[in-house]
Amino acid sequence: MRNVTVAATQMIGGWDVEQNIQRAERLVRDAVSQGAQIVLLQELFERNYFCQKQKPDYLDFATSVEENPAVLHFSKIAKELNVVLPISIYERAGHCLYNTVVIIDADGSNLGIYRKSHIPDGPGYSEKYYFTPGDTGFKVFDTQYAKIGVGICWDQWFPECARCMALMGAELLFYPTAIGTEPHDATIDSSGHWQRTQQGHAAANVTPLIASNRIGKETEGDSEITFYGCSFIADESGAMVQEAGRTEEAVLVHTFDLDAIAATRRAWGVFRDRRIDFYGTVATKDGVTKQPKTQGSN
């Protein structure tokens, strides 16, 4: 038996970085008080989701990992509370800007970074303006409590991301997120689709999945997004074991026996029976043409 307790959180945004960091710390402490050993905060929680509009001034929000206020703050919190914290930041590295997660281990050390691989672009979600596509490839981090894989928001729509992390040994999958209404069409509600897609990743890989989203209405000129929360924890069968509402701040906590889940995964044989000799089509865009390998590809 190897029990690990995880937490998903959700909170409202805002432009005050220090206030948001303090709000996030309160949620982390709440989660740890309930036994959580790995706590997930939402995507880009330092400020409002700034990608609704293409504003050159917002490019200045990016910092190096070493200088980032959230990383500096939560490195101390992780060490104090003996908790693992994946921290989502807007990273500046040379001339490139990335949507990045920094994995802080329970002793406060930096285990490394993952840079968002899939970058969306659409009304209200102009991320291609702000972010360079990630160059790290999918990664798994050997934390004090478990081997974890972390994707970022749009990554969660791609089963290849979850499968790669599972193949690399991830025992838990984490996805920090910022998703809500569509400014161009108020009738679209993707919350259920968003949840079911990730529940499918958990089920297909026989691996629990933890997703954190933000809440609240954020406005940029004539663009408006209401983030719909619905953060959740799914077990290795894809079943929802914890779910937050659409409007309230939340801390969700659940304990998994990773040894028992590993035994279940082996018994199902979904990794034993994979036919990688048939999967070349997945490495094409049009179903035919093979793409050259790029840096960070797995």
pLDDT of residue 30: 98
Q: Beta 85-93 vs 96-104: how paired, if at all?
A: antiparallel
Q: 101-118 pLDDT, tens per residue? A: 999 999 999 999 999 999
pLDDT digits (tens, 9 = 90+) for 13-70: 999 999 999 999 999 999 999 999 999 999 999 999 999 999 999 999 999 999 999 9
Contact 243, 262 (CB under 8 A): no
Q: Which residues are catalytic?
A: 43, 116, 153
Weakly modelled stretches of the chain, pLDDT under 70: 294-298
pLDDT of residue 294: 65
266-271 contacts at long range (C-beta below 8 A, 24 or more positions apart): 268/206, 270/204, 270/205, 270/206, 271/166, 271/167
Domains of the chain: 3-283 (3.60.110.10)
